[in-house]
Amino acid sequence: MTKILPFKAVRPTRDKAGLVASRPYEDYSNGELTAQLEYNPFSFLHIINPGYKFQHSIKGDKRFQLVKNRYLEFKEDNIFFKDEEPAYYIYKIITRANTYMGIIAAASVEDYENNCIRKHEDTIELRENLFKEYLKVVGFNTEPVLLTYPDSPVIGEILETATANRPEYEFSTYNKETHYLWRIDDKDTIATIQGEFEQMSCLYIADGHHRCASSYLLAKESKDNNPGHTGTEPYNSFMSFLIPESELKIYEFSRLITDLNGWSKEEFLVQLDEWFRIENRGQEVYYPSKKHHFNMYLEGEFYSLYLRKTNYEFTDSLSTLDTYILYDKILKPVLGIEDLRNDSRIAYIHGKNDLVEIKTQVDSGKYKVGFGMLPITIDEIKQVADEGLTMPPKSTYIEPKLRSGLTIYEF
């Protein structure tokens, strides 16, 4: 049983929605960021980059307070307003390749604590606490956690009916995406959606593990500091974007390594031969067609690597993941890379970029070898989460990626 609630969103006025909405801060190049801050006074980037107002870079707690100040200024200037009644918000994105549609709502911190909202990645304590402090100071969250649920005909029909009406927002972006937002505040419809989620035994985090963990820490601290705690306070929930499993798009991350850990090319191939059947493909760009098949680019040539299954023992859901097999049989024992998050010898390219990008990076001399594989499936993610295991870092790159600033959840 999962608790998914409507909430009163703070959001931009209809005429400014497209101007306010921004991609995640780290997605912008320096030139793009400067242009947005210079020429678009309504961009949400002004809130999350508050030092721009003073032409000064500000970090730490002082930055958190300035973020809150910029946010309050947007409200004072009537760029933002708060809905008077709780609602669910349908968000739809049409890209050049895919269409995504789901519900923005408040998910329960208690469900996360009780493993009704299940994770498949480890989190870093330092990042959890940093974002918790950020949330505590600014008092709002604008980046929904991406949750996925089993396809529901009932919810699907509600979304189709609601989206036949005029949206609250409709705007296009420079990367040829179109974004839509509808509001559902009808009490009967809200009750039906809520009831559907209550029948689901669990939900799964697709993206946003640190945001979940930080929200949990904030709720725990707030509860401890509130003698009148009732369980209905806004800090007991976190904003989420819930999307059916069938609409998730999961890409792989390729691995790039700077050196062969002292091995010559010939010695390196001999080491791999213990666990993989190797075929030199020359200049033929090889894409894996099956699980446990990998591609490798080394010194101007492509290779296919097929796991020798007669040698390898599958013990649990983690051991079947190609990202784990690559780590367990090549990256760690042969190339000496144990810390996949922090080792400077490894870099990642998400699978939306073509395999040719691996070739380009290796040919440039920056990296010595690159590896690719098929994407992990939603069933694999769920199985790992159900078993209480965690995937290696950078196992999945999942879409959709939402714009910031369209719905804001206040604590």
Which pLDDT score is estimated for 57?
77
Tally the domains of the chain.
Answer: 2
Q: Residue 250: which of 388, 358, 98 has the closest Cα?
A: 98
DSSP designation for 382: H
pTM for this structure?
0.94
Q: Residue 254: which of 171, 185, 335, 346 has the closest Cα?
A: 346
Which pLDDT score is estimated for 210?
94
Q: Identify whether residues 17 and 135 lie together within a single domain.
A: yes
For residues 333 and 337, what is the distance between their CA atoms, to the nearest angstrom? Answer: 8
Quick count: other Cβ atoms within 10 Å of Cβ 99?
Answer: 11
Q: Identify whether residues 84 and 136 lie together within a single domain.
A: yes
Q: Identify whether residues 180 and 272 lie together within a single domain.
A: no
For residues 277 and 273, what is the distance between their CA atoms, to the nearest angstrom? Answer: 6
DSSP designation for 404: B
For residues 345 and 304, what is the distance between their CA atoms, to the nearest angstrom? Answer: 22
For residue 144, tell me if it sits in a domain: yes
For residues 241 and 104, what is the distance between their CA atoms, to the nearest angstrom? Answer: 4
Q: What pairs with residue 79 in β-bridges?
A: none
Which pLDDT score is estimated for 48?
92
Q: Identify whether residues 295 and 329 lie together within a single domain.
A: yes
Which pLDDT score is estimated for 59?
77
Which pLDDT score is estimated for 353?
67
10-residue mean pLDDT series, the chain (411 residues) = 97 97 87 92 94 79 92 97 98 95 98 97 92 96 96 97 97 94 98 98 96 97 96 97 96 96 98 97 92 97 96 95 98 97 93 83 97 96 96 94 95 92
Which pLDDT score is estimated for 27?
84
Q: Identify whether residues 141 and 289 lie together within a single domain.
A: no
For residues 136 and 266, what is the distance between their CA atoms, to the nearest angstrom? Answer: 55
What is the secondary structure of 276-308 as a DSSP string?
A: EEEEEEETS-----STTEEEEEETTEEEEEEE-
Q: Any idea what the CATH number is for the domain that residue 344 is in? A: 3.30.1760
Q: Are 206 and 117 in contact (CB under 8 A)?
A: no
